[in-house]
Structure formats: C-alpha cells, structure tokens
C-alpha cells in the first residue's frame, strides 16, 4: 500500500517540481521597477559608478530602438518574399559608467520583451512567439547582461558628440540559453545634455540558443542581424 502511494506520488512531485522550475525559469533575471519602464538597479551595480537608464520608447519618429532582419539563406527554398525586418521599442535597462568617464561602461542589464517584437504581419508575429521559435510564454524576455567594454577608442564626433568605438561584452540569454556574447558598438556622448547613445549591429546565431526548426536554414537564415540604438540618461524613467 505504502509502496503504491510512493509510486503514485513520486511522478506527481516530479511534475510539480518541473512546473515550478519552468514558471521560475527567469526568476534570476533583473526585475522591472513599479513603473515597468526600467529595471531595479542592484546596490552592487549602483556602487560601481554613475547609472544611466535606457530612455523608454522610440528614439525618434523615424527611428527605432531595435531592428532584426532575416536575409533568407542562399537555398532553393528561400525566396525574396521570405526577407523581413522587424522591430521593438520596448527594451528596458541601464548601464553603469565609471564616474566622470561616461563612455567607459562597466556594467549593465537590458531586457527585451519577446511579445514586443513586431514583424509587421500578425501571423508571422504569432509564429515568432510560439514554441518552435522564441517561446514567449516560457521565455518572455531576452536578456543582455553587460559586463563592460573592451578596446575603447575615440572615433571623432557624431553630430557634435564625442564618439568611441568599443566591444561590449557580457552574457546573452535567449530562449532560456545563456551564452557569452560580445559585439562591436559605437558609444556617443553628449556631455551638455548628459546623454549617452549606443549604436550596435551584430548577428545572433539561432542555433547557439537552441532555436531550431525545419524552416531555419531554408527560409530563415541561421543568423539574424540585430541593430540597436539605445539612448541613456541619468534621469530614471517613471
């Protein structure tokens, strides 16, 4: 009798544990503040230097925060109709810079909600969020945990703002998989307005993050090109 009860309860406990594990898969992610427009900065980050928050929303009427592009692979199945560019203007996050040296980024966190990714076509948006792609229910956010910059070099001025080239490095979590990640970026500083802009373009290899299905490599490239233009300010969004 007791053995039977153990036999019955063990799979139930296992299933419950698995469910709890799934539900809290992103619990170690940085938390949004009450306004939902930025992230809570942990004390150990705040103590490192000056915090600049990502200014929420579209950076301009003709500009987007994030764009992602599928350039179909060179295969028989791929056709020009398969090319698309999507966007999102709902990333949240912050960076920490060494005081008095705003281009020298020493930490940061960014979250991009998968739900906010828009390809312009509702049917395609639904595909993007389902289990065979980014699985928005299970992994609602894409996270980039910025560890710092490497090879920081002056690169003249941009619209009157001193600019620098650098490599941003840290860890990217997408589809529940975390990888070391680094990409080149341009950092522009406007000292008068106390604003920083980060412009980056980099490829994301879907296979690296266990995003796999029979369309990738045929109609959708294995590498999606991501472009980002983030404006950051010391003023906390509310």
Partner 1 sequence: MGRPSLLRKLITLGCCAAVLVMSLMLWDATGRAYYTQQFDAERAKREAENTNNLANLFGDGPAGAEASIEAVPNRFSLGLLPSTEPWNITNPDLVSVMTISTPALLIALLQIVPQRSTRRLLSMIRARGAGGGSHKTGAEPA
Q: Which residues bind partner 1 (CB under 8 A)?
A: 55-67, 80-81, 85-87, 89, 118, 120-124, 155-161, 163, 165, 186, 188, 190, 193, 195, 197, 199, 227-229, 231
Nearest-approach distance from CB 163 to partner 1, in angstroms: 5
Q: Residue 198 has which token pair?
A: 């980060």
How far apart are the C-alpha atoms of 75 and 54, rounded to whole Å?
Answer: 39
The residue ranges of DSSP E strands in 114-222, in sequence order, are 141-158, 161-174, 177-190, 195-205
**Under a CB-based contact definition with an 8 Å cutoff, are residues 238 and 40 in contact?**
no
Nearest-approach distance from CB 85 to partner 1, in angstroms: 6
Please report where in the chains the tokens 């500009």 appear, as a residue. Answer: 63
Which secondary structure element, helix H or strand E, spans residue 46, and what is its range? helix 43-46
How far apart are the C-alpha atoms of 67 and 57, rounded to whole Å?
Answer: 13
Nearest-approach distance from CB 200 to partner 1, in angstroms: 10
Q: Which C-beta is closer to partner 1: that of 80 or that of 100?
A: 80
Evaluated on CA atoms 159, 161, 163, 168, the torsion sign reads negative
DSSP tag of 207: G
Q: Which C-beta is closer to partner 1: that of 145 or that of 228?
A: 228
Q: Which C-beta is closer to partner 1: that of 87 or that of 181?
A: 87
Q: Which C-beta is closer to partner 1: that of 130 or that of 157?
A: 157
**Beta carbons within 8 Å of 156's beta carbon, 6+ residues apart:** 163
Q: Which C-beta is closer to partner 1: that of 21 or that of 120?
A: 120
Nearest-approach distance from CB 91 to partner 1, in angstroms: 12
């Amino acid at each position: 009798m007791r053995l039977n009860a153990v036999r019955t309860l063990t799979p139930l406990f296992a299933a419950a544990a698995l469910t709890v594990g799934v539900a809290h898969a992103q619990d170690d992610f940085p938390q949004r503040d009450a306004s939902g427009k930025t992230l809570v900065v942990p004390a150990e980050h705040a103590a490192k230097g000056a915090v600049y928050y990502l200014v929420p929303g579209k950076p301009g009427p003709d500009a987007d925060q994030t764009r992602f592009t599928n350039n179909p692979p060179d295969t028989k199945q791929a056709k020009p109709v398969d090319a698309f560019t999507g966007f999102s203007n709902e990333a949240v996050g912050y960076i920490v810079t060494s005081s008095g040296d705003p281009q020298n980024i020493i930490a940061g966190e960014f979250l991009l909600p998968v739900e906010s990714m828009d390809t312009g076509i509702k049917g395609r948006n639904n595909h993007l969020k389902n289990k065979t792609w980014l699985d928005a229910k299970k992994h609602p956010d894409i996270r980039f945990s910025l560890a710092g910059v490497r090879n920081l070099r002056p690169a003249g001025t941009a619209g009157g703002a001193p600019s620098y080239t650098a490599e941003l490095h840290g860890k990217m979590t997408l589809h529940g998989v975390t990888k070391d990640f680094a990409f080149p970026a341009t950092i522009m500083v406007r000292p008068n307005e106390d604003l920083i802009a980060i412009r980056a373009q980099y490829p994301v290899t879907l296979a690296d993050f266990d995003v796999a299905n029979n369309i990738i490599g045929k109609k959708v490239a294995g590498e999606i090109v991501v472009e980002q233009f983030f404006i950051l300010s010391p003023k906390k969004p509310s």
